[in-house]
Amino acid sequence: MGMIDGLFGFLFGGGRNAVRETVEVFRENAEAGAERSANLQTQATAQLGQEFMIPRQGLFDRLIDGVNRLPRPALALGTLALFVSAMVDPVWFAARMQGVALVPEPLWWLLGVIVSFYFGARHQLKKQSFEREIARTAALAPEAFRQVGVLEALRGRDDPERPGAADTGSDATVTTAATVPEGNPALEDWRTLRKA
C-alpha cells in the first residue's frame, strides 16, 4: 500500500498532476482554451466599444458619418431603380442610356478608380483568399496524379474490365479484324449434333 500511495502521491500530489501536465503537451486543455477564447472575445469587444465611445458632438461629424453610409445602399437601390425605370418608361430609359454612352472613356476610368478604392479592400481580401485556395489545390495535383497512377498500376493496363480496353483507336485494320466474327468450335459441334 505504501508503494501505491507513493506512486499516486508522486503523480497527483503536491498540487501537481503529472499526467495532466504530460497530456497538455500533446492536447490543449479544453477548459483553458475556452477561457483564453472568452478573454480574447471580451477584449476585442471592449476595444470595438472604445472606438465608438468618441462622442459625435458637431453637425459636421454626424453629416460625415451619414455620408459614409450612403454609397453602398445608393448603388444598390439606384441599380434596382434603373431596372424599374426601364420597365415603366422604356423611351425615357433609352434616352438616358444614350447619354451614358456619350460619357468619355477617361471619365469611366476615373469612376472605376473611385469605386475600386471604395470597394477594393474587400475585393482584394476575397481575391487573395481565392488565390490561396487555388494554390493549395494546385499543390495537391501532383499527389493526385501519382495516386491515380498507383491505382491504374494496381488494376493493370490489360484488364478487360477497364473502360476503353476494347477501343481500337484509329487503326482500320484492327477495327476490321475486331468486327469479323471468329469461329466458335463449341457452337460448330452443337450445330453438327443437331443436324445428325
| 168 contacts 174 by C-beta, under 8 angstroms | yes
- Distance CA(192)–CA(183), nearest Å, equals 14
pLDDT of residue 26: 79
| 27 contacts 34 by C-beta, under 8 angstroms | no
Q: Which residues of the chain have pLDDT under 70?
A: 1-2, 7-19, 56, 121-123, 155-166
- Distance CA(99)–CA(82), nearest Å, equals 14
pLDDT of residue 80: 94
Burial 129-160 (b: 16+ CB within 10 A, else e): eeeeeeeeeeeeeeeeeeeeeeeeeeeeeeee
Contacts of 118 (CB under 8 A, 6+ apart): 71
- 105-136 pLDDT, tens digit each: 889 888 888 877 777 766 677 778 888 888 88
pLDDT of residue 81: 94
The residues spanned by each domain of the chain are 1-55, 71-102, 116-154
| 122 contacts 71 by C-beta, under 8 angstroms | no
- Distance CA(193)–CA(86), nearest Å, equals 85
pLDDT of residue 145: 78
Three-class SS of 111-155: HHHHHHHHHHHHHHHHHHHHHHHHHHHHHHHHHHHHHHHHHHHHH
pLDDT of residue 184: 85
90 φ, ψ (degrees, to nearest 5): -60, -35
